[in-house]
Amino acid sequence: MSSQAVVHLSEVTKTFDVPGRGTMTALSGIDLSIGQGEFVSLIGPSGCGKSTLLRLIGDLTVPTSGTVEVNGKPARQARVDRDYGIVFQSPVLFDWRNVEENVRLPLELIGTDKAAREARVTEMLELVELSDFRRHHPYQLSGGMQQRVSIARALAFEPALLLMDEPFGALDEMTRERMNSEVLKVWTQTGITVVFVTHSIPEAVFLSSRVAVMSARPGRITKVVGIDLPRPRTVETRENRRYFELVTEVREALRGMDGRVEADDAALERATAEGGIG
């Protein structure tokens, strides 16, 4: 167990009780170490437990066995210490708060003093280029803008780790590519460690330092692909030959797990959703 690892999982398993179907193993034998400043994507078919894995790191659900450490502490302690920010697939903005009030939310909870709070909100809104929309309300923004507010909120209290659970899954392809570049900009500027769940191969390859490929039933990490594309990554990166090679490599790693039972996926997704809300 290295001391500089921001995330360290060892021998992690997670099982759910599915009513009428007994116990289902969502994750099995997960070992993963993520270093300071890395950008790691988790990719796999639906039902492979990649979101569950992210939620284990965030202590939004607890492992059945094994240990999860964040910043060298048990995941629970890391959550209590507010060591990470999280972005979900939906922006989860509070519709009674305007943009700046949404970004300010975690700072209010932490008890940051007012002047520091305002400065930080301004800084975050500049980072995601929404300074002109401070007083807009969520319903007045596009989906991509809402998700940028959500990213600003996750970064507001300067966490060491950013967890992103399919953050751009609901966006159209054009917006998604633009958001990918935005996220890399934020990552470069802040030096934050990112764990990114996706089921888009191009997105995973474009963004990451490493891509962890997962299989379903039970969910495990079958391969970790190092992405050695040069940075900064730009529009040209997506036309780079090495990029295509890596996309192919990830795709082939994923191909090992075709022909899974879709019904099992659905049952497990439900159990995951219910089990973790607590």
Partner 1 sequence: MTAGAAPSRRSRRRRIVAILGFIGLVLVLWEGVKFIGGDPWRVNGELMWTPPLDLKFATDINLPHVWSIAAALGDPWRRSADTSLFMFLVGKALYTWREAAIGFALGAVTGIALAAVFVHSQLLERAFVPYVVASQTIPIVALAPMIVFFVGNEILAVVVVATYLTFFPVTIAMIRGLRSPDPRALELMRSYAAKRRTIFWKLRMPASVPYLFTALKIAATASIVGAIVGEGPGGVQDGLGRAILDFNQTYITGPEKLWAAILVTALLGITFYLVVRIAELWWLRDRAPDVAT
Interaction site with partner 1 (CB under 8 A): 55, 58, 60, 79-82, 84-86, 88, 90, 92, 94-96, 98, 105-106, 108-110, 135, 137-139, 273, 276-278
Helix axes 99-110, 114-127, angle to 10 degrees: 130
- The minimum distance between CB 106 and partner 1, in angstroms, equals 5
Please identify, using beta-carbon distances, which residue of 140 and 248 lies nearer to partner 1.
140
Residues 5, 33: contact at Cβ < 8 Å? Answer: yes
Which residue is listed with tokens 């990451």? 208
- The minimum distance between CB 115 and partner 1, in angstroms, equals 21
Amino acid letter, residue 249: E
- The minimum distance between CB 196 and partner 1, in angstroms, equals 16
Please identify, using beta-carbon distances, which residue of 40 and 60 lies nearer to partner 1.
60
Please identify, using beta-carbon distances, which residue of 15 and 98 lies nearer to partner 1.
98
- The minimum distance between CB 141 and partner 1, in angstroms, equals 11
Cα 246 off chain centre by: 21
Q: Outline where the chain has alpha helix (H).
A: 50-57, 75-80, 99-110, 114-127, 143-155, 173-190, 201-207, 241-255, 262-277
Instruction: Tabulate helix, strand, coil % of the chain (nearest 5).
Output: 45, 25, 30
* DSSP state letters, 3-45: TTEEEEEEEEEEEEEETTTEEEEEEEEEEEEEETT-EEEEE-S
Please identify, using beta-carbon distances, which residue of 22 and 278 lies nearer to partner 1.
278
Report the C-alpha gap between 141 and 118 in whole angstroms: 21
- The minimum distance between CB 171 and partner 1, in angstroms, equals 17
Please identify, using beta-carbon distances, which residue of 235 and 277 lies nearer to partner 1.
277
- The minimum distance between CB 231 and partner 1, in angstroms, equals 29
Please identify, using beta-carbon distances, which residue of 108 and 172 lies nearer to partner 1.
108
Which residue is listed with tokens 């639906």? 46
- The minimum distance between CB 137 and partner 1, in angstroms, equals 5
Q: Which two tokens stand for residue 138?
A: 């969520």
> What DSSP designation does 137 have?
-
Residues 216, 44: contact at Cβ < 8 Å? Answer: yes
Please identify, using beta-carbon distances, which residue of 115 and 277 lies nearer to partner 1.
277
Which residue is listed with tokens 């989860």? 92
